[in-house]
């Protein structure tokens, strides 16, 4: 009697018991069975829900896991700039990102957010085949940013979220997604740096609120500079004194 436990990526996949005593004559059949079981065991995927993509420090303070959990679904409300800021951390760690159905995306802003453009694929007009496109990208990319069409059915929503969970891909939906793990919304954006005819847009103060499910039901909010005067994304001090900035512009 042999007892073997197959481990794969730290997960106990299957415990199998093989009795070699009964079938002395058919060793190859036993070996074949053993091989089958090993294969079955190996096909179990590693548990990705514990892996997290790092994000910029200012955003990490707000997110429940300190980053984007693999396979999670995130909604970013009313701010393409915030969605780009979210991609910056993973992109620096060689993640592949795709943006689907956002023909208006300002790619220069993505480059300024330090997203590696060579690993940022854009599908501006998926048209009628939105779901197929997103499904194909979820299979291959690490993060997929998608603007869902108005007529997306709840069934399709669930199917894509499940696919993302299975593949370990982070799905970032713009503006709406039912049953998302996390919701980031931006409000009270205030641009600074211009006054009557002089200066230029330099920095923006933005309130970002994060609300999740489970342990993160209570919303967390913070004021961020997105971007700051130096083009970075940092946490802003709660008391706003925009006059100092206007003076420099």
- Give the residues lining the site for other proteins (CB under 8 A): 78-81, 84, 94, 96, 98, 103-112, 117-127, 129, 132-133, 136-137, 139-142, 188-191, 193-202, 204, 227, 231, 249
Least distance to other proteins, CB of residue 247, Å: 14
Q: In this structure, are residues 212 and 219 in contact, taking their beta carbons and an 8 Å threshold?
A: no
Distance CA 54, CA 203 (A): 24
Least distance to other proteins, CB of residue 231, Å: 6
Least distance to other proteins, CB of residue 220, Å: 22
Q: In this structure, are residues 144 and 119 in contact, taking their beta carbons and an 8 Å threshold?
A: no
Q: In this structure, are residues 219 and 209 in contact, taking their beta carbons and an 8 Å threshold?
A: yes
Cβ proximity to other proteins, 37 vs 223, nearer residue: 223
Cβ proximity to other proteins, 198 vs 215, nearer residue: 198
In the 3-class helix/strand/coil scheme, how is 211-230 assigned residue by residue? EECHHHCCCEEEEEECCCCC
**10 Å Cβ neighbour count for 32?**
11
Cβ proximity to other proteins, 30 vs 114, nearer residue: 114
Cβ proximity to other proteins, 179 vs 231, nearer residue: 231
Q: In this structure, are residues 52 and 69 in contact, taking their beta carbons and an 8 Å threshold?
A: yes
Least distance to other proteins, CB of residue 12, Å: 25
Distance CA 18, CA 4 (A): 8
Cβ proximity to other proteins, 50 vs 195, nearer residue: 195
Least distance to other proteins, CB of residue 202, Å: 8
């Amino acid at each position: 009697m042999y007892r073997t436990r197959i481990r794969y990526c730290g997960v106990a996949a299957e415990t199998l018991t093989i009795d070699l005593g009964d079938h002395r004559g058919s060793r190859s059949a036993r070996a074949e069975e053993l091989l089958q079981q090993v294969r079955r065991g190996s096909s179990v995927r590693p548990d990705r829900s514990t892996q997290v993509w790092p994000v910029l420090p200012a955003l990490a303070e707000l997110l429940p896991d300190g980053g984007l959990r693999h396979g999670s679904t995130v909604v970013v409300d009313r701010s393409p700039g915030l969605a780009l800021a979210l991609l910056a951390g993973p992109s620096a760690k060689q993640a592949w990102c795709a943006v689907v159905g956002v023909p208006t995306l300002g790619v220069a802003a993505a480059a300024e957010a330090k997203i590696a453009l060579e690993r940022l694929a854009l599908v501006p007009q998926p048209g009628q085949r939105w779901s197929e496109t997103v499904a194909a990208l979820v299979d291959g990319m690490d993060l997929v940013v998608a603007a869902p069409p108005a007529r997306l059915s709840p069934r399709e929503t669930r199917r894509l979220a499940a696919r993302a969970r299975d593949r370990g891909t982070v799905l970032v939906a713009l503006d709406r997604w039912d049953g998302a793990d996390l919701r980031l919304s931006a409000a009270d954006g205030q641009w600074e740096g211009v006054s009557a005819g002089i200066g230029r847009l330099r920095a923006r103060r933005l309130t970002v609120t994060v609300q999740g499910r489970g342990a993160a039901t209570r919303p967390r909010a913070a004021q961020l500079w997105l971007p700051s005067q130096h083009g970075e994304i940092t946490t802003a001090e709660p008391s706003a004194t925009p006059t100092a900035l206007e003076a420099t512009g």
